[in-house]
Amino acid sequence: MAVAETVDQAREDARWMDRALALAGQAASIGEVPVGAVVVLEGREVGAGFNAPISGSDPTAHAEIRAIRDAACRVGNYRLSGATLYVTIEPCTMCAGAIVHARISRLVYGATEPKAGAVESSAQILDSDAMNWRVATTGGVQAERCSEVISDFFAARRRAAKARRKCSAQAPRPSGP
């Protein structure tokens, strides 16, 4: 790959990761873990999604799954070869499997996920000989920003939980007869 292509690709990756981060913000605004994903085919967005398992009462409603479903519907084919999936955090096992089954050609993610990441962290699903499709991967795109979004979300949740505990501990107790 020529240097100009590499620079152009890095610029495109940053642009689409910005879009995924905006989608992560939508998830956070409804109390969901802030993860966003976008599917790009031939330079245009064909699918987008953000985490919604809580609000949708659907444990499979991860950002990646929702973006892949959206893209497959818009394209009219569940096979999305030639497409790139951008996601703010390293995909889990379920999402890595969906990426393979959808025939996504390239995966670009931001932050690693040490506990559940199935691309490089806790497992390397996409590199498994059992997979019948190879996915090119690029990790660490805007990793610091992506990690910060998740960290800030969970820090805010911990602060809110601590405040609730403190409030309930200070609440007056009803007196007996």
Instruction: Assess contact for 171 and 164: CB atoms under 8 A.
Output: no
Does the annotation flag 62 for ligand binding? yes
Report the distance separating Cα 114 and Cα 143, nearest Å: 13
Binned at pLDDT 50, 70 and 90, residue 177 comes out as low
Q: What would the 3-class secondary structure string for 98-131 be?
A: HHHHCCCCEEEEEECCCCCCCCCCCCCHHHCCCC
pLDDT digits (tens, 9 = 90+) for 126-173: 999 899 999 999 999 999 999 999 999 999 988 888 887 776 666 566
In order of their start, the domains of the chain are 1-169 (3.40.140.10)
Which of 5, 45, 64, 90 is the catalytic position? 64
pLDDT of residue 170: 66
Residue 107: its pLDDT value, please? 98
Percent of the chain with pLDDT over 70: 91
Question: Is 92 labeled as ligand-binding?
Answer: yes
**Would you state the pLDDT for residue 32?**
97
- Does the annotation mark 64 as catalytic? yes
Per-residue pLDDT, 44: 98
